[in-house]
Amino acid sequence: MNWCSPTMNLYPKFSFHQTYKSPSSKARIGQLVTPHGNVDTPAFIFCGTKATVKGVFPSQLRAAGTQIILSNTYHLMLQPGSHTVKQNGGLQKWTGWNGPMFTDSGGFQIFSLGHGSVAAEVKGQRNTQRPKTLLKIHEDGATFKSYLDGKVHKLTPESSIQVQKDLGADLIVVLDECTPFHVDKTYTASSLHRTHRWGKRSLQAFQDTSDESQALYGIIQGGIYEDLRKIGADFVNDQPFFAHAVGGSLGKNKSQMQDVVSYTMSLLDPSRPVHLLGIGGVEDIFHGVRQGIDTFDCVHPTRIARHGCALVNSDYLQYDSSHRKDHINLRNARFVHDTHPIDDQCPCETCHTLTRGYIHHLLKAHELLAMNALTLHNITFMNRLLNDVRDGIRSETLNTVEQRWVISRA
């Protein structure tokens, strides 16, 4: 296979170093070097969709061990506008994070919202009451209505790159069409080739405006079809992207998703870092790292915190042997008189100072402290998980680590 490695001239301030490769799988430990700091991989990227990880300060993110965060091109181009962010010094200065950052292209939100929800169509769930906002997909890009005020906007490969340049994240992404699960192979193939044309235009716009402060990811689409995924992988391997992102519809269930990820990863240039877009469940992370995935992002940890849920590992079975989920819902009445912390092994401030019963009270009283407390715990949980994953890869004990973190569904 003829892989085209990224040129130092295009990304002189970025690098990816593989520091350890497991002899028993494709799992690896690496370091992603950016102008705003280094990221030890495998790593979890927390979603700060609208330039904030909801409910927490940057200092709290850092104290919890966070290495890198993600912000969303689609939402920020609509509010407050990328020019406003640029005039305020870019995301790094504006948010006070001043660390490695990732932005997506905006395509996922446009196309998934266009089908009536943020993610339901991509994941094969077609029932939704959200109004559809996508007006037209065309060769130039996509025309859509703002979910805020109904104004019509157009996003092209070139404008996506410009918005991301204004935002100033270290790692940015080409514009792609994220096809939903239910579309047929003919449409998926047509979309894939359009995504490649957009990818070349994104790359050209990036090269025309690059000041060496950003690095560009190519995206592999192709739905559930192996031949299309191979075409997608060949395309990104042959272009001078810094890194790759596996995206799009990954299947109707977890088993099919794992098959698609495994097959796609077998085709990619191993010298480049690889990100798995929008997937970050605990079980998914262990499967992904064994396939060579370096970074993950997902709203799950912080979103469920806002709904009263705390992530727990398999040690929770010692407390409740009937539990078979990766989280507990502290709104449930069973926690009213619970005097235990969420996790007595967790170093977060929540677990050091608050009981499950008190958090239950905060949730029932609609106190904002509950959201902050649960978000901090879930962020700490994910960072501890990835630390253990890296240690497990290095010591060849990943199976044992997985047993500690993944709650059996049996």
Q: Please state which of the ranges 108-122, 288-302, 337-351 shows the lowest mean pLDDT.
A: 108-122
Q: Which residues are catalytic?
A: 104, 297
Q: Is the pLDDT of residue 122 over 50?
A: no
Mean pLDDT, rounded, for 228-241 = 98
Q: Is the pLDDT of residue 6 over 80?
A: no
CA–CA separation, 394 and 342 (whole Å): 29
Q: Is the dihedral of CA 107, 113, 114, 117 positive or negative?
A: positive
144-163 residue pLDDT tens: 899 889 999 999 999 999 99
* β-pair partners for 310: 328
What's the pTM value of the predicted model, to 2 decimals?
0.93
**Helix count (H) and strand count (E) of the chain?**
15, 16
CA–CA separation, 27 and 286 (whole Å): 9
For 391-403, letters b (16+ CB in 10 Å) and e give: ebbeeeebeebbe
Q: Domains of the chain, with CATH numbers?
A: 15-298 (3.20.20.105), 305-405 (no CATH)
Is 163 buried (19+), middle (13-18) or exposed (0-12) by CB count in 10 A?
buried
129 CA to centre of own chain: 25
Token pair listed for 168 = 């100033």
252-279 residue pLDDT tens: 889 999 999 999 999 999 999 999 999 9
Which parts of 266-367 fold into alpha helices (H)? 282-290, 300-306, 349-353, 356-364
DSSP state at residue 112: H
Q: Please state which of the ranges 144-148, 235-239, 350-354 shows the lowest mean pLDDT.
A: 144-148
